Structure 1
Amino acid sequence: MDYNRRVRQAALAVMVLFGGTQAGCAQPIPQSAGPTTQQETQGADATNAASVTVAAQPADAASAAAQTAAPSQATVLTPDEAQQNAAGNVAELQQMLRGSELNELRTTYNGSYGASLLFYGKEMTYYVTLFQNKMFWRVIKTSDETRAEAIYRDFAAKSQQLADVEIRRIRLEAQKAFTQRMIALTQDHANRLQADLTIARQQQALVMDQQKQTRDQANALQAQKTAAQGQLRDVQRQVRELQRQVEGGLPTQ
């Protein structure tokens, strides 16, 4: 019996040493040939408990560290709220909205996101909602007015944070559309100016051609005038000569 007890204790000691790295793995435990005494059973239970404690310490420590590092938020559900949420607060609120007993106390819109604080006076119950495109995303039901207000403020801040990217996209789309419209208007103005310039150049070329033709015609007329004047002088000389001949020998006054 002493030999079996020592073997059992040695095996349990090995389990304690390797329990942290091999948690969850089944360890072979030597079976005693005879019935186990109550002291042996208590010793084994105590040793197993120690092994489980050693194996669970890393996970518990990580969980505790995560809880310490994570900031406390108003939307951490109480056990009652978690149970209600699991039961379907969204469906319950949608059903109640078909009636007229809910009062809308506050609503905040940020883009397609928003938060609402609704009050059901018949049961003194508050429904705090976070929604997108008027579709409920989260619904918290509580009878604590202070907590309802805190959750509403948290949801309103979340809706603003969630909508920041959407609002930026809307503004950028508007700026892009405005820029494209200005480009189109400016291009249209440029096209009009180009058309005016083309017409002006065509008209200028036509005027210059007309001016050349007019100058050529004027020069030709000037030459014709000069020639005609010369011819006129010749004819006048001829007339005078003929007149002199006709009147030759006649007495003069």
Structure 2
Amino acid sequence: MKNLLNMRRAAVSNGAAAHLHFPQQHASQHAAESEPAQLADLPASESDAGATIDERPASAPPRPVTPLHAVQVTPSASNGRAVQLADANDVERMADDAALKTFHTFRTFDYSVSLLFYPKELKYFVALFQEDRMWRVLTTSDMNTARQLFHHMQEQATRLADGETRRLQLEAQNEQLKRLIAESEAHAERLRRGLQRTTEQDQAVTGRQHQLRKDLAQLEAQRTAAQAQLNKAHRQVHQLNVANNEAIPHIPR
């Protein structure tokens, strides 16, 4: 195989050397036939790449693949425009001197982002604030880049405020649950008191009915005894009347 490749290189090289002496009118033919010479100059490993691939055994183990890892991406300037860190103290001083114009402002909880313009030097500043204190400042001289930086910091401020958002939601939910628990306990207490009152009234009514039945029984017994005594008194009166009538003489008419 090596002898065949060496012979091929020698033949192509000789052909290329012969073509170097062609006249000017055959330039196009020389350019077409010089391509094999360029291929001959390549190393054997590149010119015979196909043969190398075919000669590799099919059972060769595959190359290990390196796993990908998430990497935090920092916004880069579009079209190669420069983005630099700015001195927060200098920007604050310019803001105090009213030398900056505010284009955009975004605020979420304790975090805010401002896009500021410095007309004197045609510069843009994108500042991230925490509790109204300047934290990070980037500067650029391109408006589109400044807007991209503003949106990037806006997303960053939103992520930073996610915890505050969640905390506020949980506090509100906990307060709502406390109110619902208090209302449920108060309702349960009202139901318990109502049930206790109903139970007491039921017991009172039951006792009243029982006492009433006893009283009725006693009154019925008294009525029965009084009726018997009355009947006895009537009989006595009748007997006395009969006795008295017998003592009166009978006068014929």
TM-score under structure 1 length normalisation: 0.62
Q: How far apart are the structure 1 equivalents of 2:111 and 2:150? A: 13
| Corresponding position: 1:81 with 2:81 | no
Match of 1:238 among 219, 223, 236: 236
CA 1:112–1:80: 2 relative to 1, 3 Å: closer
Task: Please give the secondary structure, in 2, of the residue aligned with 1:196.
Answer: helix
Residue identity matched to 2:168: I
Q: In 2, distance between residues paired with 1:229 and 1:214? A: 22
Query: Which amino acid counterpart does residue 238 of structure 2 have in structure 1?
Result: R
Structure 2 equivalent of residue 166 of structure 1: 164
AA aligned to 1:152 is: F
Does the CA-based 8 Å contact 1:113-1:130 persist in structure 2? yes
Contact kept in structure 1, 2:77 and 2:83, CA below 8 Å: no
Q: CA deviation at 1:223?
A: 0.8
Distance (whole Å) between structure 1 residues aligned to residue 98 and residue 91 of structure 2: 12
Aligned to 1:186, the other structure's residue is in SS state helix
**Alignment counterpart, residue 209 of structure 2, candidates 202, 208, 211:** 211
Partner of 2:146 in structure 1?
A: 148
What's the Cα RMSD here? Answer: 2.9
Instruction: Tell me the CA shift for residue 181 of structure 1.
Output: 1.7
CA–CA separation in structure 1 for the residues paired with 2:174 and 2:161: 20
- Of the candidates 184, 194, 199, which is equivalent to residue 186 of structure 1? 184
**Native 8 Å contact 2:82 2:140 kept in 1:** no
Q: Is the Cα–Cα contact under 8 Å of residues 74 and 154 in structure 1 kept in the other structure?
A: no
Q: Write the deviation string for residues 32-67 of structure 1: whole angstroms up to 9, x where unpaired.
A: xxxxxxxxxxxxxxxxxxxxxxxxxxxxxxxxxxxx
Aligned residues: 181
Q: Alignment partner for residue 106 of structure 1, among 82, 104, 107?
A: 104
Other structure's SS at 1:247 match = helix
Distance 1:80 1:157 in 2: 18
Task: Describe the shift of the 1:223–1:96 C-alpha distance in structure 2 as closer, same or farther (beyond 3 A).
Answer: farther
Q: 1:159-216: per-residue Cα shift (whole Å, max 9, x none)?
A: 1222223212221221122112211111111111111111221222122112211221
**2 CA distance for matches of 1:232 and 1:202?**
44
Point out where structure 2 has 5 or more consecutive residues left out of the alignment. 1-70
Question: Secondary structure of 1:114's partner?
Answer: strand
Q: Answer with 1 or 2: which has the greater Rg.
A: 2
Q: Which moved more, 1:119-128 or 1:142-151?
A: 119-128
1:97 corresponds to:
95
Deviation at 1:70, TM superposition (A): 6.2
Aligned with residue 132 of structure 2, among 112, 131, 134: 134
Task: Answer whether contact 2:77 2:145 (CA < 8 A) is retained.
Answer: no
Provide the C-alpha distance between the structure 1 equivalents of 2:188 and 2:174, rounded to a whole number of angstroms: 21
Find the aligned partners of 2:247 and 2:134 in 1 and give their Cα distance. 138
Secondary structure at 2:128 match in 1: strand
The verdict on how the C-alpha distance between 1:154 and 1:230 changes in structure 2, with shifts beyond 3 A counting, is same
TM-superposed deviation, 1:101 = 4.4
Partners of 1:160 and 1:234 lie apart in 2 by 108
